[in-house]
Structure 1
Amino acid sequence: MQVTVKELVQQNNEKRKILTPENQEYYENMLVYIRTNALKGERATEEVLLEMLDHLLEAQREGKKAEDVFGKSPKELAEEIIKTLPKESFKDMLDFILEMVFTLFGWYLAIGGLFPLITKQNQTIHSGSLLLAGVLLISSVVVLLYFLFGIIKRNAFEEKRKKNKVNWLLGLLFALLFVSGVSVNFIVEPFGPTITISYLVQFGLGCFFLLAAFLYKKSRESK
């Protein structure tokens, strides 16, 4: 039976714990750099990373360091490895994007529909406000992916303190965009044609989207 992508990642996570601090930092920098190439096949990427890790662990048992195995230019080596990886299929890329979009809209609808569910009050939806909220949420997806696969990659070989700073900025910007999308109906004067829906609909749709995102994730990890 073929090992799933999730199992490959789990094996990598467990085996990395055996590395010395120096070898771990070297390897994880390359891991981040290689993984952030979203257009490359996820399975092929994880298989190569695990193969590299096994090779490094074997060398470590012989008293060698990561630089002795992979050289002193990890970024150049990572670029060469990336070139050999096959491209991700259009279907798998679409599944990943839909997973992200469903997750965001699921939380947006579930959070926004929680209060009406408790009070059991039907809602009046303004289509213009809903469209604005959707644009903000989709923008948060675009920003998240851009930072995740762009800036984090460029900082993969930087000092740990600088990488932590980038991660904080990423999280802050993403949170601001997401909160803006969730709170737009409370901050901006509602506008556009109105639609009245049951208090069950919005929360129910949110749960449906979150379930769809979960199923997409499970499907992706089981390949």
Structure 2
Amino acid sequence: MMKLTVKQLIEQNNEKRKLLTSENVAYYDDLLVYIRMNKFKDERATEIALLNLLDEILEAQKEGKCAEELFGTSPKGYADKIIESLPKESKRSIIEFGLEILFTLFGWYLVVWGIWPMINQENQTVYIGSLTVSALLLIASLLLLVLLVFKVIKNQAFSDQKKKTTATWVLGLLIGILFVVGIMSNFLLQPFGTAMKMTYYTPFGLGCFLLLASYVLKKSRENRVE
């Protein structure tokens, strides 16, 4: 039998979840979010474990049982046991996933930054020193934000809907502020270092290239069967 890719496993999971009752889907979705937020665990093994878990709930559902009766009222403890049993992600996959996030965030930053020069068709002068500092600060801030997002989503997985909604709004606000501060830093930071001329389409084009690279990495990860 041919092995399923990560993407195929996720698609199968999404289809089977449609068969769950509203009570069971709420219980399972909390488990799914909590388990998936552990990105240092093998992604394919994680999706297989989630699919097996879903199959157990569907079998119990046929017998008139709910997920809470099957796994108890403390899903977090059960999820922690599943996470402990999962193999660690390979270093290669961790690096690829990190690059995927980095390319995505930095790509959108460059696209947003490059829109105004594109509209006005104005070439720009950038200074290597100040550009390097602002880029490093932005990358560090974005990576810290990603870690915060994963931590908050994981911690709120078993909270009530009101707390989940509040956490979502707070994270969205932080992301918005970070992008604004990152873009404004280019104008507020005193220029220093070697000056370099840059055509008006370069930031936007580079941003699109990074987003494309992120998409390629994502598809490669989803279609891997090892």
Normalised by the length of structure 2, the TM-score is: 0.90
Q: Give ranges in structure 1 of 5+ residues lacking alignment.
A: none
Work out the CA distance in 2 between the residues paired with 1:22 and 1:155: 18
Per-residue CA distance 1:65-111 (angstroms, 9 max, x = gap): 11221122211111111110000011111111101111122122222
Say whether the 8 Å CA contact 1:34–1:82 is kept in structure 2.
yes
Work out the CA distance in 2 between the residues paired with 1:132 and 1:46: 39
Residue identity over aligned pairs, in percent, reads 52
Work out the CA distance in 1 between the residues paired with 2:183 and 2:15: 37
Deviates most, 38-47 or 121-130: 121-130
Aligned to 2:76: 75
Aligned to 1:20: 21
Question: Any idea what SS the aligned residue of 2:201 has?
Answer: helix
Note closer, same or farther for the CA distance 1:70–1:197 as it changes in structure 2 (3 Å cut): same
**Runs in 1 of length 4+ with deviation above 6 angstroms?**
none
Output the amino acid matched with 2:196: I
1:49-198 superposed matches below 5 A? 49-198=50-199
Work out the CA distance in 2 between the residues paired with 1:36 and 1:6: 17
Aligned to 1:11: 12
Q: For residue 189 of structure 1, report the CA deviation from its aligned partner.
A: 4.2
Work out the CA distance in 2 between the residues paired with 1:129 and 1:175: 22
CA RMSD of aligned residues (A): 1.8
Question: Any idea what SS the aligned residue of 2:15 has?
Answer: helix
Work out the CA distance in 2 between the residues paired with 1:193 and 1:214: 33
Normalised by the length of structure 1, the TM-score is: 0.92
Question: Any idea what SS the aligned residue of 1:40 has?
Answer: coil
Question: Any idea what SS the aligned residue of 1:195 has?
Answer: strand
Work out the CA distance in 1 between the residues paired with 2:114 and 2:147: 29
Note closer, same or farther for the CA distance 1:15–1:144 as it changes in structure 2 (3 Å cut): farther
Work out the CA distance in 1 between the residues paired with 2:184 and 2:219: 30
Say whether the 8 Å CA contact 2:129–2:191 is kept in structure 1.
yes
Aligned to 2:38: 37
Say whether the 8 Å CA contact 2:102–2:143 is kept in structure 1.
no
Work out the CA distance in 2 between the residues paired with 1:152 and 1:203: 31
Q: For residue 187 of structure 1, report the CA deviation from its aligned partner.
A: 3.9
Output the amino acid matched with 1:209: L
1:212-223 superposed matches below 5 A? 212-223=213-224
Size of the aligned set, in residue pairs, is 223
Deviates most, 7-16 or 134-143: 134-143
Work out the CA distance in 1 between the residues paired with 2:100 and 2:112: 18
Output the amino acid matched with 2:34: Y
Say whether the 8 Å CA contact 1:99–1:217 is kept in structure 2.
yes
Deviates most, 42-51 or 120-129: 120-129
Q: For residue 215 of structure 1, report the CA deviation from its aligned partner.
A: 0.6
Q: For residue 159 of structure 1, report the CA deviation from its aligned partner.
A: 1.0
Output the amino acid matched with 2:157: A
Aligned to 1:210: 211
Output the amino acid matched with 2:147: Y
Work out the CA distance in 2 between the residues paired with 1:124 and 1:41: 44
Note closer, same or farther for the CA distance 1:66–1:72 as it changes in structure 2 (3 Å cut): same
Q: Give ranges in structure 2 of 5+ residues lacking alignment.
A: none
